[in-house]
């Protein structure tokens, strides 16, 4: 099945659903929040709902879907995408804009002594200081240095960069929620076979604990690709095709490779993806999307100025902050 771009041309959104189930048994561990715990709520029909994975977390997982931890590099099909790499003093990679939470706005990219990327951005953003920021111009800048950030958004909150107003909202988003959620309480004991009555504050002794998991009538992952937003950037046709294909590849790889969300939260896909809007569109298989992404990267590479050259922009990391000198007191004789 080839990717049907024509069906998406007049659609403002591409909405996808995927039904999930625990890989083994019925229980699963949802995301938790420090001041809230599991996020539980009621649906309009009164059903007990549970947020299994937040939009923020799914965004991070979708970004990692094109990164290979074993080789510490992009997956083969994504090679050629532009991104920013941060190197240690010895030339090894410290981090990069694909893995960083704020992408191009990472402090490791913009706040170190190496100001090369900051200067590139400032030069390219010249003319955006006054008046409304033209998203087309900003999109061209972001696409040049990190195509991944075109899908996941970026906020260059630096006063020296157009007054801190350079912002692209997230085009690809997702979340996982459970319907008919019920609590499954359990617990256990951390055993100390040497001294069961030891000081637990120091990690000794037997320590009982409780564990809260859940079961659910139905678990669904939802994905939303804002096609109108991408189309509004006015990028070349090949760039638009690349972003759509890349977004769909991320969704496919997340569902095929990334559904072990936590130790006690491992899911499996039930059936295939369901497209709810436009209903006539079908998502190609992962193998086809891998090939399509590679094809569109090559097509984009032939458009002068669309991607930075070299594709990987390197920043050498060294903190701009001066380390405080340790003052050693000399005892009087």
Instruction: Give the tens place of pLDDT for each residue, 284-294.
Output: 999 999 999 99
Q: Is residue 327 part of a domain?
A: no
Output the pLDDT for position 187.
82
Q: Is residue 16 part of a domain?
A: yes
Q: Is residue 325 part of a domain?
A: no
Q: Is residue 331 part of a domain?
A: no
Q: What is the largest CA-CA distance in the chain?
A: 88
pLDDT band at 117 (very low <50, low <70, confident <90, very high): very high
Output the pLDDT for position 329.
47
| Whether the predicted model's global pTM rises above the 0.75 cut | yes
Q: Is residue 263 part of a domain?
A: yes
Instruction: Give the tens place of pLDDT for each residue, 143-157.
Output: 999 999 999 999 988
Q: Is residue 60 part of a domain?
A: yes
What integer is the mean pLDDT of 9-14? 95
pLDDT band at 33 (very low <50, low <70, confident <90, very high): confident
Distance CA 143, CA 141 (A): 6
Instruction: Give the tens place of pLDDT for each residue, 181-228.
Output: 999 999 888 898 898 888 888 889 888 888 899 999 999 999 999 999
pLDDT band at 331 (very low <50, low <70, confident <90, very high): very low
Instruction: Give the tens place of pLDDT for each residue, 222-237.
Output: 999 999 999 999 999 9
Output the pLDDT for position 322.
61
Q: Is residue 102 part of a domain?
A: yes
pLDDT band at 323 (very low <50, low <70, confident <90, very high): low
> Residue 326 pLDDT > 70, yes or no?
no
Q: Which residues pair with 34 in a beta bridge?
A: none
Domain span holding position 187: 5-196+210-316
pLDDT band at 13 (very low <50, low <70, confident <90, very high): very high
Q: Residue 157 class from Cβ within 10 Å (0-12 exposed, 13-18 middle, 19+ buried)? A: middle
Distance CA 170, CA 153 (A): 4
Average pLDDT along the chain: 92
Q: Give how many domains the chain has, as a whole number.
A: 1
Percent of the chain residues topping a pLDDT of 90: 74
Q: Is residue 326 part of a domain?
A: no
What integer is the mean pLDDT of 157-186? 91
Output the pLDDT for position 177.
98
> Residue 332 pLDDT > 70, yes or no?
no
Output the pLDDT for position 2.
87
């Amino acid at each position: 099945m080839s990717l049907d771009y024509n069906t998406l041309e007049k659609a403002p959104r591409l909405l996808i659903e995927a039904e999930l189930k625990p890989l083994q048994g019925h229980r699963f561990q949802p995301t938790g929040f420090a001041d809230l715990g599991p996020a539980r709520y009621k649906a309009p029909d009164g059903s007990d709902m549970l947020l299994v994975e937040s939009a923020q977390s799914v965004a991070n997982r979708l970004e990692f879907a094109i990164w290979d931890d074993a080789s510490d590099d992009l997956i083969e099909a994504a090679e050629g995408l532009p991104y920013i790499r941060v190197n240690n003093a010895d030339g090894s990679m410290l981090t990069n804009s694909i893995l960083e939470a704020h992408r191009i706005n990472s402090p490791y990219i913009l706040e170190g002594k190496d100001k090369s990327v900051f200067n590139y951005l400032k030069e390219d953003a010249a003319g955006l200081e006054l008046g409304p920021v033209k998203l087309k111009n900003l999109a061209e800048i972001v696409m040049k240095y990190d195509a991944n950030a075109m899908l996941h958004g970026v906020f260059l909150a630096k006063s020296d960069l157009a007054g801190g107003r350079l912002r692209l909202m997230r085009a690809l988003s997702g979340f996982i929620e459970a319907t008919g959620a019920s609590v499954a309480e359990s617990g256990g004991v951390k055993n100390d076979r040497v001294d069961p009555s030891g000081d637990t504050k120091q990690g000794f002794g037997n320590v009982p604990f409780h564990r809260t998991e859940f079961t659910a009538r139905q678990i669904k992952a939802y994905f939303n690709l804002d096609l109108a937003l991408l189309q509004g950037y006015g990028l070349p046709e090949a760039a638009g095709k690349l972003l759509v294909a890349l977004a769909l590849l991320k969704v496919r790889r997340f569902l095929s490779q990334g559904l072990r969300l936590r130790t006690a939260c491992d899911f499996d896909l039930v059936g295939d993806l369901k497209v709810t809007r436009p209903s006539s569109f079908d998502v190609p298989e992962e193998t086809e999307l891998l090939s399509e992404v590679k094809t569109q990267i090559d097509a984009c590479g032939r458009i002068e100025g669309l991607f930075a050259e070299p594709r990987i922009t390197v920043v050498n990391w060294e903190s701009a902050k001066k380390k405080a000198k340790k003052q050693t007191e000399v005892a009087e004789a």
